[in-house]
Structure 1
Amino acid sequence: MKLSPSFSRIILTTFLTASIFINSNAQEKKKFIVNGYVGGYRGQVNVAEIDAKKLSHINYAFVNVKDSAAFLTNLKTDSTNFRKLNELKKINPDLKIMISIGGWSWSENFSDAVLTPSSRKLFAKSSVDIIRQYDLDGVDIDWEYPAMRGEEGNIYRPEDKQNFTLMFKDIRAELDKLEAEKGRKYLLTAAVGGSKSFVNNTEMAEVAKILDYILIMTYDYGGKTVNHHTNLYPSRGMETGSSAHKSVMDFMEAGVPASKLGLGAAFYGKSREAESNTNNGLNQPQISGSKAVAGQGGGYGKMKNEFINKNGYKRHWDRHAKAPYLFNSETKVFITYDDERSIKKKAQYIKKHKLAGIFFWEYFNDPEENLLNAIDKTLN
């Protein structure tokens, strides 16, 4: 059978139109970041246990700040870990390996390090020199917290607010030099506190212009009452309390585009003791300095093995907060955490609000990949 020229043109046009439509849909599908923090501070990282195909970024935690410079405290193991983490790119060529500077325990010297133009330049150069030396992909700053008290003994001052911005400008300038040398893109990100006070003590609209991603630590929420530490929305009766949604809205109102915001997931639980069994401990007064909570909670792997519907703990779901929790009615210990269901809700929220993606602390707290699989299944 021989087709007429006009009919052949119709078939060809239809085929090309369909191809363009399929390709444009593929291009329109957003690729979300999945950023896992890996704790190198413990020593040698078991890289073989990292599922590189399900990650877009690894943040290596942590690099210290000493004498106004980024400093590898555990040089021998850090250098080995960098080499082995880079080998994961054979599995996932798009994977980015970042250094994360600071963290809760190593933020005490940030304020001094960025106080003057000369100290900022030294800090920026030393940060990027690590990237250059070990062939990594970028710098993540985890300053806890500018212009606010973090860990006991931390140095902080009002000037941190402006110096926080200037620090990023100097690091970006050093990364630009490295880009000119190597001919490729390098990333600059920050992990930021989820509180309104963090927003008020920084210039987030200016910072957002410099950074590739801003990772909101939507976990470790606390207060005087027993509540969730990584809830997506407020619990009923706690509408003014902390939540991931409130944190996201605060940062967006401060001028940060949704497309640069990463939402935090907790691969661990935190325990609190309630004064009473009312409402399974939720929203009850919290006993300060409780000894009953010692050893309760921990990484998600431990949670599944020891606590979830075990050893006197019963799992509950807060439909308002979109968060699970455990409660032991005998000890009145309440454990707040993320699980597969809440992770799915967070991932759906990310898609709905067109955020950059998700990140989590800490990779090895989920050895069976229950939470990572929930992320992978929902975002991809």
Structure 2
Amino acid sequence: MKLFKLLSIFLLLQPTSAIPVVCYYILNQPRVSEVPIELCSNVILINSAHISEKSGSLQIFEPDISEFSELHEKRKDLQLLVSITSSNPSFSLLTSNPSLMEQFSRNLTATLLKFNLNGVDIDWEFPAWSRDAKRADRSNFSMFLKILNSHLKPQSLTLSVAVPGPPTISRVAYDVEVLNRYADMVQVMNYDFHVYNKLSNPVVGFNAPLHPMRAEISVLGEMNVICELVKNPSYTKVWNRHAQAPYLYGPSGLWISYENPESIAAKMDMAKHLKVGGVMVFSIGSDDVTGKCGDTFPLLKLIAKLAN
């Protein structure tokens, strides 16, 4: 079974009794007609809206967004957001100019209203912290959120911000008070704790472990495996009780981190215990979309069940 790349949490600044399930979605992964809208409270479209590296203006792929907006025809109360994903230089250019930010915010608001969308998700990875980022990004991003909020809020549009889980990044990149003041949702990308990089992080850990391990495992690995590999008798399944996460390893030295019902349940229990605003999944296309190994979207269905 093709498994979730991650399960994370998000912070809803005004929590409700229900636990929303935010689903990131790449167009045609799966097709719009196959998106399990009954399992998600919010669906965020990614890779269809960007910032121009030359002008700092909004660039959208209208056919993508138009097709995405058709989900409202099936479920009126479904919250549809579009994610702005761009390079650090693009974000730096935009947020360094107040006039550009005002124009961008006006155009973005008009686009959301035109396509009957409910809001925007800002995914800047990461202000002030990344190698190609600028020191002024942190304060400029704060101003950007303020300006965005001033345009979106009067139209009852949602402002979501994707942030990294590691505090070593967040402390440098964001003013938390500003996030609390202007963002309606904060998507915490806990999988950033263990991102493989040949130079800076040449070992891999769990996808999005619930708890830290006592020691890292010094082997390379891959994510998102098919069910045949999970069921392969030559691979050994292990449950790490400290991280509350499973992994596999095989005779070839391949080490695989993945999600299973037990790890999903543990994270959902923690989300309820912490009383966070909800859970976030990236992305729904990483589940068993076609039911190749049984039921379709088995992990997302479990998340939705436990969220009730």
What band does the TM-score fall into relative to the shorter chain? 0.7 to 0.9
Residue 365, structure 1, aligned to residue 286, structure 2:
yes
Name the residue aligned to 2:72: 86
| Shift of residue 79, structure 1, vs aligned partner | 2.1
- Is the 2:21–2:279 Cα contact (8 Å) retained in structure 1? yes
- Between Structure 1 and Structure 2, the one with more helix by share is 1
Residues 1:71 and 2:43 are matched in the alignment: no
Q: Which has the greater radius of gyration?
A: 1
* Counterpart selection for 1:32 from 7, 19, 31: 19
Corresponding position of 2:232: 310
Contact 1:65 1:107 in 2 (8 A): no
Residue 304 of structure 1, CA deviation: 4.2
- Judging changes above 3 Å, is the alpha-carbon distance between structure 1 residues 310 and 136 closer, same or farther for their aligned structure 2 residues? same
Q: CA deviation at 1:188?
A: 0.7
Aligned to 1:259: none
Matches within 5 A, 1:181-330: 185-201=156-172, 202-220=174-192, 221-222=194-195, 223-237=201-215, 283-284=217-218, 286=219, 297-298=223-224, 303-310=225-232, 312-328=234-250, 330=251
Cα distance change, pair 45–29 in 1 and its aligned pair in 2 (3 A): closer
Q: Is the 8 A contact 2:207 2:223 kept in 1?
A: no
5+ residue gaps, structure 2, are 1-14, 196-200, 290-295
Distance 1:134 1:351, change over 3 A: same
Identity %: 25
Shift of 1:133: 1.3
Residues 166-214 of structure 1, C-alpha deviations (whole Å, 9 max, x = no match): 111111111134x2xxxxx221111111122322121012211111111
One-letter code of the match for 1:87? E
Cα distance in 1 for partners of 2:272, 2:223 equals: 29
Give the Cα–Cα distance (whole angstroms) in 2 for the partners of residues 158 and 189 of structure 1.
Answer: 23
1-structure distance, mates of 2:64, 2:21:
25
Query: Number of aligned pairs?
Result: 277
For the 8 Å contact 2:271–2:278, the answer to whether it is kept is: yes
Greater relative contact order structure (CA < 8 Å, 6+ sep): 2
Amino acid across the alignment from 1:168:
L
Aligned 8 A contact 2:30 2:285 in 1: no
Q: Which runs of 5+ in 1 are unaligned?
A: 1-27, 180-184, 239-282, 288-292
Task: Note the C-alpha offset of 1:80.
Answer: 2.3
CA-to-aligned-CA distance 1:92-148 (integer Å, 9 cap, x gap): x32100011116xx4541111111211211222222222011111011101111112
Residue-by-residue CA offset, 1:68-108 (whole Å, 9 max, x unaligned): 22211x332332222x222232xxx32100011116xx454
Match for residue 171 of structure 1 among 120, 131, 148: 148
* Alpha-carbon spacing, 1:125–1:313, altered in 2? closer, same or farther (3 Å): farther
Q: What residue in structure 1 maps to residue 306 of structure 2?
A: 378
CA distance in 2, matches of 1:358, 1:36: 9
Q: Distance in 2 between matches of 1:117 and 1:297?
A: 41
1:163 partner amino acid: N
Instruction: Determine if contact 1:309/1:315 at 8 Å carries over to the other structure.
Output: no
| TM-score, structure 1 normalization | 0.68
Are residues 1:102 and 2:73 paired? no
RMSD: 2.2
Q: Deviations over 1:20-72 (max 9, x none)?
A: xxxxxxxx9811110001102xx586222122122110001121111222211
1:95/1:107 CA distance change after superposition, 3 Å:
farther
CA contact (8 A) 1:230 1:336 kept: no
Corresponding residue for residue 48 of structure 1:
33
Contact 2:88–2:127 (8 Å) recurs in 1: no
Q: Which runs of 4+ in 1 moved over 3 A?
A: 222-226
Distance 1:166 1:29, change over 3 A: closer
